[in-house]
Structures are given as C-alpha cells and as structure tokens.
Structure 1
Amino acid sequence: MQGVRCRPLAGGEVVAVAAAAAAAGKRRGAALSIDGAEPPEKWIERLIGENPVVIFSRRGCCMCHVMKRLLATVGVHPTVIELEEAEETAAAASAAVGLPALFIGGAPVGGLEGLMGLHLSGLLVPRLQAVGAFCG
C-alpha cells in the first residue's frame, strides 16, 4: 500500500483509495493514519485493531455495497478500505480471508455470508454493541 488517500463519505464512512499523490504521506480524514514506512501487513493489523468495524473491498464490489447498506440500516458506519488490484493479494494474505472481508472488534467475520449469518441469527447487533460500533 504505497499511498492511501482517504475521503470521508456520508455518515462518517471512510474510503481509502491507493493514490500516487498520497505517496508523500499526505493524510485527509480523521479515521486513518498512514505511515509510509509501515509494512502493509502491520498497517492492516493496526487498522483492524483501531476501528470497531472494518470492511476490505475491491472497487465496485456489489457484495460490499450490500454489507455497507445492512450495517447502515442497523446504525453502524464501517471503515471501508477499497483496495487496488495490486493491493488485494497483500491484504487478503494478511487478513487470512478473501474479499470483501469484514472485521468486527478486530475479529474476522468473513464476507457477506458471515455478516448475513450473524444478522439472521440475531447476533449482529449485540456484537456491534459490544465493540462500541454505534454512533452517537
């Protein structure tokens, strides 16, 4: 992850997009901090640990869109990291799951199937409450 440019979206959601302009270490948005000397694996681990709900996705992923909509419906706005194609391999290897990948409270949930399983079993909201994921 050479450089990441963050831009806040509605509801506090943050999308990170690799960008050459950010390679100089510029930072926009309060949710992410980037250290150019930090290896991608450490950055991913730190990001997962610092944010209650994180989704790693590829640009234009319809499953990620559904995940974001479901979480927004229950009142949670996750940190969303959209990875460029070259970054997907490093992130997937570090996270030990495929994309999209959801983490709640630092623990891997999986993709859309894992999120839907939590939701349908009634365990999603209590788990989100336990990690302090609700805004306001």
Structure 2
Amino acid sequence: MDKIRDLAGKKAAGIFTKSSCCMCHSIKTLFYELGASPAIHELDKDPEGREMERALRALGSNPTVPAVFVGGRYVGSAKDIISFHVDGSLKQMLKDAKAIWF
C-alpha cells in the first residue's frame, strides 16, 4: 500500500493500469483530451504489480484497473471517472489538483 501512496502522490493525477486493458486505454485518452498528463503505472509491467493490484483491491478499486488518483487521493475506477466526466466534476477535480489549468 505504501508504494501505491508514493506513486499516486508524485503527480497531480495518476492512473494504475494494465497494458492490455481497453478501459484503461479509454481513461488515459480521456485525461489526455482534457489536457492532463497523468503518471501511468502499468501493473503488468511492474515486478511488484500483483502486490499493488491486491493493495488497490483492498482500497476499494473493483475491478482493480484502471484505478485513478487525483491530488494523491483515490477517486475511483472507470465507471466513477466516466460519471465524474459526464456531470462535469472531473474537470474541476483536475483543476483543483493543478493537473490542468483551464
């Protein structure tokens, strides 16, 4: 869990993903389109990926990826992020965390 917190807090936005996950790709694309440049942590390419996946599950991320952090705080998985985007609150979250400026 400590590694998750450390990685999640290094940038204003971070996404824990797997390279083969289509929803992970969609969420990353959404962040890029909003002007954010999130830290991407691909669990299937990290030697500690399985341990981090267990930690994300314990944190409440189900499914475990994508797991999105904004301002160092876990904000949800794909369905949560899409809901935040639809209601307009995702952009404000990113602004508040200084992940985007406009």
TM bucket, shorter chain: 0.7 to 0.9
CA distance in 2, matches of 1:42, 1:54: 15
For residues 88 and 58 of structure 1, do their structure 2 counterparts lie closer, same or farther at Cα, with a shift above 3 Å needed? same
CA root-mean-square deviation: 2.0
TM-score, normalised via structure 2 length: 0.82
* Higher RCO (CA < 8 A, seq sep 6+): 2
CA distance in 2, matches of 1:78, 1:84: 18
- Percent same amino acid among aligned pairs? 31
Higher strand share: 1
Higher helix share: 2
Tell me, which stretches of 5 or more residues in structure 2 are unaligned? Answer: none
Match of 1:100 in 2: 66
Q: Does 1:74 align with 2:34?
A: yes
- Please state whether the residue corresponding to 1:133 is helix, strand or coil: coil
CA distance in 2, matches of 1:120, 1:70: 12
Structure showing greater radius of gyration is 1
TM-score, normalised via structure 1 length: 0.63
Which residues of 2 match residues 1-136 of structure 1 at below 5 A? 41-84=1-44, 87-95=48-56, 96=59, 97=61, 98-134=64-100
- Residue 101 of structure 1: how far off its partner (Å): 0.6
- Residue 89 of structure 1: how far off its partner (Å): 3.1
CA distance in 2, matches of 1:58, 1:88: 9
In the TM superposition, structure 1's runs of 4+ consecutive aligned residues that sit over 6 Å from their partners are none
